[in-house]
Amino acid sequence: METRIAVIGIIVENVESVEKLNNLLHVYGQYIIGRMGIPYRERKINIVSIAIDAPQDIISSLTGKIGKLDGISVKTAYSSVVTRHEE
């Protein structure tokens, strides 16, 4: 199995979608290296960054699901490092 390291940037403009976002992140938790959330109170948004090490299709699946949430924007930056793991 090949995995890639990526950083997922998330902007939350609709706080009503936070619970759904957290549920998704919990489901994919085994792949998440770390998470940082920054509340930007003056602008009434939250900024979240996720470091992840997972197969390409898993990262795409997670970001696709996040992108469908109301009031949430997502972008992903990938490392060029691909790691092969024995299954």
Q: In sequence order, what are the residues at sequence separation of 6 or more whose Cβ sits closer than 8 angstroms to the Cβ of residue 68? A: none
Fold of 2-81: Alpha-Beta Plaits (3.30.70)
**How confident is the prediction along the chain (87 residues), in pLDDT tens digits per residue?**
899 999 999 999 999 999 999 999 999 999 999 999 999 999 999 999 999 999 999 999 999 999 999 999 999 999 988 888 776
Nearest Cα to 47, choosing from 72, 19, 16, 79?
A: 72
Residue 59: Cβ within 10 Å count: 22
Predicted local distance difference test score (pLDDT) of residue 87:
65
Domain boundaries, the chain: 2-81
